[in-house]
A and B are shown apart, each in its own frame.
Chain A
Amino acid sequence: MNIVRAHKLKDHFVELLRSASSQLPGDVVDALQQGFHQEDKGSPAHMAMEIILKNIELSKANSTPLCQDTGTNIWHVYHPQHICKTALEEMIRDATEEACRLSYLRANAVDPVSGLNSGNNLGLRFPVISFYEWRSSAVRASVMLKGGGCENVSTQYALPHESLQAGRDLDGVRKVVLDAVFKAQGRGCAPGIIGVGIGGDRITGMIEAKHQLWRDLADRNPVALLDKLEQRLHDECNQLGIGPMGYGGKTTVLGVKAGAIHRVPASYFVSISYMCWASRKASVTIAPSGKTTFHKRVPRSMTCNTPNCKG
């Protein structure tokens, strides 16, 4: 049976993009609310958090983009065996164009050679789509809208790092993450969420860092040492005092999430993906019966490294 054509996947994908662009996941909203309450009343930081919260309400009520930069759209599609990925990709591209026409997405695809905007938010490897085969018979598509401002402050370090005196261990990782958050100041639209990829090469390390951004903020790392690192960094990043928008304040990051993948003996990369407070993600599962479930929180399969995870 062709689940792709049978169940109007395109319409579901348009809906997915609408909700991703106009509604934040619950864990992020909770964390922002907490941040608002901890900033000093009357401070610029407090005002910024208040505006952010008002913006969240307005965007949800009117289905307007939370932020005009609807970013690079990163799709992860989990699919059963024997499914036509070309058709799935077509649906995603059609849905993207439609969502752009409906102003859920901005026309964001620019040709770096000619400087021309494609006008429909489609381009070469734009959106970015990854397919993962899994054992379930359903299709699950998740999309993340990764803004340019926070992408610009994302970065990568090679350990050891001399001036930071960061060695090839988790304390070295801690030091470079602090340095990256310091260097970003408010420019990634703080408060941010920090995805850290430890190890890998220059590409896979950054993929891991981005992958961490799918995790729920409340999610604890199953690896004890990484969990400790995440908690410590969360606390220390906030001690930097950069605050919302870099105005100075207590809420610099909403969370730090770290994953580690194998590296070669010669390299020790730490890749840091900065996600702005507008951490827009949405997920939908379409069963073979056609039953469609939109998820309020991104399901665990998105953050699991095992390709056959059924989460």
Chain B
Amino acid sequence: MKHIQLPIGETDIRILKVGDEVAISGVMVTARDAAHKYIIENWPKWVAPLLKDRAIYHCGPVVRKDENGYHAISAGPTTSIREEHYEPQIIAHYGPRIIIGKGGMGDATLAAMQKSGAVYVHATGGAASFIARSIRKIHNVYMLDELGPPEAFWEMEVEDFTGVVTMDAHGGSLHNIVRKASEKRLHALLQ
């Protein structure tokens, strides 16, 4: 298990390789479909410090509010490929170092990550209670009214958020490897 502290620089991120198990700590922000669309339509400045050298988490959490503020109680990853159209532009513009989600992303994102120095960390889909435990604090929420709870930007502090690097900054993709191998087996089974 490799420990990662956010913010993180390009050199450190390029050390990571496909298949590495990582534990991420620091402050990151959630953004999913509506948030991605909003970003590339507006290129807001306020987003920049949240993203630079940090992590974008594809997640629409279940959040509870009490007198002490917000608490994430269920916060697993959502399918990342839906952001394929937006992510390469966001990576180039804001310079996040880690994209976290599930299911992996496409070649355009892979190329953008290779160019800017970023990796994709796959979190365990559906393991929402487990992951919520590593979310220590919700610092802030942006655009809650406009986007609704699952789609809002939740700025959160995490400790030992675990996942697997499935796309690295050198063009490596576990998703491509598994797809190719399974395609071979599929063809054999279709005979």
Contact = CB atoms under 8 A, between A and B. Distances in A.
Interface of A: 44, 47-48, 51-52, 54-55, 58-59, 62, 64-70, 103, 106-108, 110, 115-117, 119, 147-149, 152, 164-165, 175, 178-179, 182, 185-187, 189, 236, 239-243, 245-248, 276-278
Given A108-B150, A164-B190, A245-B124, A68 B75 contact: yes
A37 to B, nearest CB: 17
Contacts of B189: 178, 236, 239-240
B128 A55 contact: yes
B141 interface: no
B19 interface: yes
Interface in B132-191: 132-133, 147-151, 162, 164, 166, 174-175, 177-179, 181-183, 185-186, 189-190
A247 B122 contact: yes
Given A68-B60, A103-B64, A248-B174, A47 B128 contact: no
9 closest residue pairs by CB, A with B:
A117-B148, A189-B125, A187-B103, A55-B130, A55-B127, A65-B74, A68-B74, A59-B129, A67-B126
Nearest to B190: A175
A107 B74 contact: no
Given A107-B148, A245-B125, A152 B179 contact: no
A106 B126 contact: no
Interface string B93-119: 000000000111000000000000000
Main DSSP-derived SS at the B contact region:
mixed
B129 A246 contact: no
A51 B162 contact: yes
Main DSSP-derived SS at the A contact region:
loop
Interface centre among B19, B79, B81 (most CB of A within 10 A): B79
A141 B145 CA distance: 34
Contacts of A59: 74, 128-129
Contacts of B179: 185
A67 B178 contact: no
A68 B177 CA distance: 29
Given A107-B149, A182-B186, A245-B102, A54 B178 contact: no
Interface string B79-99: 101000000000000000000
Contacts of B129: 55, 58-59, 62, 64-66
Interface centre among A48, A55, A164 (most CB of B within 10 A): A55
Contact of A68 (B34, B59, B122, B178): B59
Nearest to A110: B148
Contacts of A110: 148
Contacts of A236: 189
Given A65-B73, A107-B150, A246 B62 contact: no
B25 interface: no
A239 B191 CA distance: 14
A240 to B, nearest CB: 5
A103 B128 contact: no
Contacts of A48: 124, 164
Given A187-B79, A247-B174, A278-B126, A67 B74 contact: yes
